[in-house]
Amino acid sequence: EPEVTQTPSHQVTQMGQEVILRCVPISNHLYFYWYRQILGQKVEFLVSFYNNEISEKSEIFDDQFSVERPDGSNFTLKIRSTKLEDSAMYFCASSEIGGFLSGGSGDTQYFGPGTRLTVL
């Protein structure tokens, strides 16, 4: 069964450094998402992306964050200057085009295993 994959599984960085978290969505999916989960807190939406553009972003997704689809398979989240409070598990998700009314499952997001980011 196709899966969303994420690398690395764990990233440790120093405050102020740039990090890039990588995701490979399911191959026929065209909608991509990033969420994060700070330890002990809810999973929070960061951003959605379609057709090389941000579709929606949350208040958390400020100028320190950016997303990119650099090629046909990867989807990345960049944090330009990490802060201690960026420490969290970051999840990538993807969904296909076409909702259930048209026989697709675009209504459903499939998640990767996550990248644990630790900012020291």
Partner 1 sequence: AQSVTQLDSQVPVFEEAPVELRCNYSSSVSVYLFWYVQYPNQGLQLLLKYLSGSTLVESINGFEAEFNKSQTSFHLRKPSVHISDTAEYFCAVTRSGGYNKLIFGAGTRLAVHP
- Applying CB under 8 A, the residues found at the interface with partner 1 are 6, 31, 33, 35, 41-45, 48, 50, 55-56, 58, 91, 93, 95, 99-100, 106-114
We find the least distance from the C-beta atom of residue 45 to partner 1, in angstroms, to be 4
Question: Whose Cβ is closer to partner 1: residue 23's or residue 119's?
Answer: 23
Contact 23, 31 (CB under 8 A): no
Question: Whose Cβ is closer to partner 1: residue 13's or residue 58's?
Answer: 58
Question: Whose Cβ is closer to partner 1: residue 15's or residue 97's?
Answer: 97
- What gap in Å lies between CA 81 and CA 94, rounded to an integer? 26
We find the least distance from the C-beta atom of residue 81 to partner 1, in angstroms, to be 25
- What gap in Å lies between CA 109 and CA 18, rounded to an integer? 27
